[in-house]
Structure 1
């Protein structure tokens, strides 16, 4: 951990040096820093950065010994820096990287439920790409390593897509990225799988929200409800969705209308409530929502409802995996 902290400090120094020289956001300086390091040269456009900065950066880059670092170390440092980028640039909380434990849980269920074939996987709110890349890496390192994944990501923020593009390169993952409002028609066919940490909050374009059954009767609609509906509309028949969703939309007052509607549209497979300690405010609690689209030879099943008590104890993950195996044997296999 000490080595990662040292590297973070050294990389941060490089990013801020370039940021000051170009007078750009932290996110822009971060993507350009890693582009420079990956290309092995310092990009200069219209005399910026100036010769003194180029010389200074050249020495800083040399001191990093970038080519000697492992891929895993590069990815870890970059992930920490993207988190800082969100904070530094005052970006929306929806753009914060998803915690690693969530990708572990999603990958656990994907390994169990998905067929052994090439799959098209989409994240319609990809942000920095942290969730999707972590999940795919775990799948490739497990029994699905023999498979290829056709990956696509959507985001309406170009800076986020630039961060995702660098993240994909560092993870050695190929992906097609689309800069668009994910609640407008998608620019590709129906995916087999959707993986996403749903954006939470109000959707500002009321005239577009009017097209959705989950819109609010008055005022702005909640984006997370509209996203689920859009995902169902685009998901291939019998396709799966693995979504990080606010607990408030799945239970209580919020879920009283939404969950019956959802149960008519898809087959619910599982809801995994994440540990309370992950969230400072109970109102911000999240769960992992897993469902399968209607399709040929697809039937309803008992829903696996469970809660993970801790993200630190390995035995809790083992217990969840046992529950998953028992449920799968009884209901799916």
Structure 2
């Protein structure tokens, strides 16, 4: 057993143990207690924490979260974004942002903060300030605990991610978008992608908000339903994308990450238009192969590299 593995396992077991203990004492949900367990370890088990890499800590959190998830039924928005999606996203952001050494990244509907943490780990050579916007108070508190536990800079805003945002425009926006209807019609009517009648699609409004939150020429990397463009109400979205952005890529995530075909997701990459700077590109359409198939994955990376060289040549 490697040294790194033992540290990660020790941290995971300790988190799991403290979470259980707290659960018996206070009866709060496992998510709340996992946050408190991280805080306890961060303040009282410094020795173990300091032996661990960022990856050890993040993986220990992830295992603790998933292990608790099996013991307690949770709502869909309490699921965490799988590791591999964060790793792929981090890699793609590093390709598009290769010129920038420091940038602000906004995570809309940031949840537990696991997606932002994974991206931070992939891009540890960059200086990043993360803005996480999350309406669920339990998750937004958990992301604060996670940021302290991992010692990475998160600014967490506990608010509805579709309401006006309290920070300056970001260089990059990310989001694992919630699917379904958005209940606040008053707000959706103020937005370009709100429907005139009935509730609007939350995922459409999130795409609009992700572009609004960007600096001109900034990029949005969004996890969206694979059938995004197959809905009968898609015209409005297509017009918005064509008017406000230059679409870069639509990449289908590996099928084995999802329970069934209906649950499948893809990555939509958009660049916010800037007068005289952004230009149309040939949209990259591809399937991202399973990470466990190194040869196929290598082929995908070569295809991406060729596309980058043609459409975003280095200055």
Match of 2:61 in 1: 78
What is residue 126 of structure 1 aligned with on the other side? 110
- Mapping of 1:122-201 within 5 angstroms? 122-140=106-124, 145=125, 147-201=126-180
User: TM-score, structure 1 length as denominator?
Assistant: 0.84
User: Aligned partners of 1:192, 1:68: CA distance in 2, in Å?
Assistant: 31
1:315 to 268, 286, 295: 295
| Aligned-partner Cα distance in 2 for 1:214–1:92 | 26
Distance of 2:109 and 2:215 partners within structure 1: 18
Cα distance in 2 for partners of 1:218, 1:281 equals: 31
CA RMSD of aligned residues (A): 2.4
Number of the residue aligned with 1:106: 89
Alignment match, 2:261? 282
Provide TM-score, normalisation by structure 2: 0.88
Query: Does the Cα contact within 8 Å between 2:36 and 2:145 map onto a contact in 1?
Result: no
Cα contact 2:35–2:145 (8 A) shared by 1? yes
Q: How many residues in Structure 1 have an aligned counterpart in Structure 2?
A: 306
SS in structure 2 at match of 1:250:
helix
> Per-residue displacement from partner, 1:215-241 (whole Å, max 9, x unpaired)?
234322221111111111221111110
2:58 and 2:117 in contact (8 A); partners too: no
Consecutive unaligned residues in structure 1, runs of 5 or more = 41-60
Secondary structure of the residue that 2:77 maps to in structure 1? Answer: helix
Determine which of 24, 30, 45 is the counterpart of 1:26: 30
User: For the residues of structure 1 that align with 2:113 and 2:273, how far apart are their CA atoms?
Assistant: 28
CA distance in 1 between partners of 2:115 and 2:42 (Å) = 22
The Cα shift of 1:67 comes to 4.4
Distance, in Å, in 2 between the alignment partners of 1:268 and 1:93 is: 29
Q: Aligned with 2:215: secondary structure? A: coil
Change (3 A) 1:248 1:67: closer
Kindly name which structure, 1 or 2, has the bigger radius of gyration based on alpha carbons.
1
